[in-house]
Amino acid sequence: MGELTQVRRLVTSVPGPRSVELMARRQRAVSGSLGHVLPVFAAAASGGVLVDVDGNSFIDFASGIAVTSVGGSDPAVVAGVSAQAAAFTHTCFLVTPYEGYVEVCERLNELTPGDHEKRSILVNSGAEAVENAVKIARAWTRRPAVVVFDHAYHGRTNLTMAMTAKSMPYKSGFGPFAGEVYRAPMSYPFRDGLSGPEAARRAIDLIEAQVGAANVACVVLEPIQGEGGFVVPAPGFLPEIAAWCRASGAVFVADEVQTGFCRTGDWFACAAEGVVPDLVITAKGIAGGLPLGAVTGRAELMDAVHAGGLGGTFSGNPVACAAALGAIATMSTLDLCAAARRIGDTMLPRLGKLRERVPAIGDVRGRGAMVAIELVRPGTVEPDADLARRVSQACHAEGLLTLTAGTYGNVLRFLPHSSHRPTCWPKAWTCSKVR
Ligand SMILES: *Cc1c(COP(=O)(O)O)cnc(C)c1O
């Protein structure tokens, strides 16, 4: 397809007639259980734009939910995928291993925080990676309890639903859930006003009183929460929780599925505070859009599971591995960590200025190319989900694809492609349509 012109251009209504037609077909063939942020059908994507079947070109501030950080169809990803697909598409790593799998694990072991001896496994998704991290932590500690946080999102499988905080739409009606999952309060500076160490103390007190330190297999934490609303914990929260884990013999697991791979301006968000997790969970941005997840961690933990204890038929598929190697090469050669920092340096001050003028913007936060605004009723911290929905729709109508997030649905989140330069800001950013 080649590089598309990086423009925001609407040539029909949104959705256009071809998308409307396809949507009718979709309704007849596909389950109603799947929602869509923007009901236009994709025809092509490259760099930071997505073109629909009616020829509308959207600036993509969703990146398929923090996946295509390297752009819509990164040349290195495309080349790797094409060559690997032509060579072989599958053997199952448990049947016959292949070099690409090993090489992705080598990259993960190098790039994740800490210079200790590491090992990795590859899986198919973020949720599957979370499940495996819990299995490894339980096998290593021989303890049952999993501690997670308010506003957390860890996936949609049975165990990860239990770990995810938000009922609607992720959990409602799908119980009973897996046991031995305990929820602690998260550091949420906009809403709790606590310092990082204070918020950590509050969480640790609850864990010690309600779970018991000796029962905790692992504490699983997103360094910046994703679905929960891009909640950036106050400085000191992460290091204190990690230190408590070390002192208590619990495994500290960083769920970097959304924050990893240059999204926040570092290879991994934990690095910003020098935190070295025992296990790091990755997926989303790892492979430029192909399904891949991973668990990377201390060799002694990763090797504590008996041979044959982990794995799966498709896990670490060779085509997905080739995509990951292409994506990681692009992140290095284009220095997408620096690019993500530039995006944050552009967006955060602009949104900060907007906040001074628009009282409905309660908070502007994020890091690198992971930026959000939290919308509230002016003068309060009362969530305004309806406004978030309307602003997001106004953006869509102007050709900017945005997402909402948050436990209360009142957070507008921006996940631009790190390779994308924000040159044409839509008019919706001035809020002309919503006030
Ligand atoms: C998306 C996400 C997951 C789940 O990943 P899937 O690939 O959708 O299963 C887990 N944790 C975090 C932090 C995520 O953002």
Instruction: Give residue-wise pLDDT tens across range 116-175.
Output: 999 999 999 999 999 999 999 999 999 999 999 999 999 999 999 999 999 999 999 999
Q: Are residues 320 and 213 in the same domain?
A: yes
Nearest protein Cα to ligand 1, atom 10? 154
Q: Are residues 148 and 159 in the same domain?
A: yes
Q: How many angstroms separate the alpha carbon of residue 80 from the centre of ligand 1?
A: 24
Whether 155 lines ligand 1, by a CB cut-off of 6 Å, is: yes
How far is it, in rounded angstroms, from Cα 195 to Cα 189?
7
Whether 256 lines ligand 1, by a CB cut-off of 6 Å, is: no
* Count of C-beta atoms within a 10 Å radius of residue 185: 16
Q: What amino acid occupies position 385?
A: A
Q: What amino acid occupies position 135?
A: K
Q: How many angstroms separate the alpha carbon of residue 253 from the centre of ligand 1?
A: 14
Query: Could you report the per-residue pLDDT of 11-47, keeping only the tens digit for each?
Result: 999 999 999 999 999 999 999 999 999 999 999 999 9
Task: Please give the angle made by the CA atoms of 77, 229 and 38, to the nearest 5 degrees.
Answer: 60
If you write DSSP's letter for every residue of 113-166 in order, what string do you get?
S--S-EEEEEESSHHHHHHHHHHHHHHHH---EEEEETT----SSHHHHHH---
At residue 421, the pLDDT reads: 42
Whether 153 lines ligand 1, by a CB cut-off of 6 Å, is: yes
Whether 399 lines ligand 1, by a CB cut-off of 6 Å, is: no
Specify the CATH number for the domain of residue 149: 3.40.640.10
Atom of ligand 1 nearest to the CA of 293: 7
Last residue of a domain, one of 285, 301, 333: 333
At residue 78, the pLDDT reads: 97
Whether 255 lines ligand 1, by a CB cut-off of 6 Å, is: yes
Atom of ligand 1 nearest to the CA of 222: 13
Whether 140 lines ligand 1, by a CB cut-off of 6 Å, is: no
At residue 418, the pLDDT reads: 79
Whether 395 lines ligand 1, by a CB cut-off of 6 Å, is: no
Q: How many angstroms separate the alpha carbon of residue 18 from the centre of ligand 1?
A: 31
Whether 148 lines ligand 1, by a CB cut-off of 6 Å, is: no
Q: What amino acid occupies position 366?
A: G
Q: Which residues of the chain have pLDDT under 70?
A: 1-2, 419-435
At residue 86, the pLDDT reads: 98
Burial 249-268 (b: 16+ CB within 10 A, else e): ebbbbbbbbbbbbbbbbbbb
Q: Are residues 140 and 20 in the same domain?
A: no
Whether 131 lines ligand 1, by a CB cut-off of 6 Å, is: no
Domain annotation covers residue 375: yes
At residue 101, the pLDDT reads: 98
Q: Are residues 277 and 411 in the same domain?
A: no
Q: How many angstroms separate the alpha carbon of residue 358 from the centre of ligand 1?
A: 32
Specify the CATH number for the domain of residue 33: 3.90.1150.10
Whether 154 lines ligand 1, by a CB cut-off of 6 Å, is: yes
Q: Which domain holds residue 110?
A: 76-333
Q: How many angstroms separate the alpha carbon of residue 62 from the centre of ligand 1?
A: 14
Q: Are residues 277 and 379 in the same domain?
A: no
Domain annotation covers residue 194: yes
The values of phi and psi at residue 44, to 5°, are: -160, 160
Cross-strand partners of 253: 220, 279
Q: Are residues 326 and 347 in the same domain?
A: no
The values of phi and psi at residue 264, to 5°, are: -100, 10
CA dist 283 to 111, 261, 328, 395, 396, Å? 14, 9, 13, 28, 27
At residue 422, the pLDDT reads: 43
**DSSP type of residue 400:** E
Q: What residues contact 276, with CB distance under 8 A and at least 6 apart? A: 113, 114, 116, 242, 270
* Count of C-beta atoms within a 10 Å radius of residue 234: 18
Domain annotation covers residue 71: no
Whether 221 lines ligand 1, by a CB cut-off of 6 Å, is: no
At residue 3, the pLDDT reads: 79
Whether 230 lines ligand 1, by a CB cut-off of 6 Å, is: no
Q: Are residues 20 and 152 in the same domain?
A: no
Q: Are residues 20 and 110 in the same domain?
A: no
At residue 200, the pLDDT reads: 98
Strand 293-298 to 279-282 pairing: antiparallel
Atom of ligand 1 nearest to the CA of 66: 15
**DSSP type of residue 297:** E
Domain annotation covers residue 66: no
Task: Please tell me the total count of domains within the chain.
Answer: 2
At residue 424, the pLDDT reads: 40
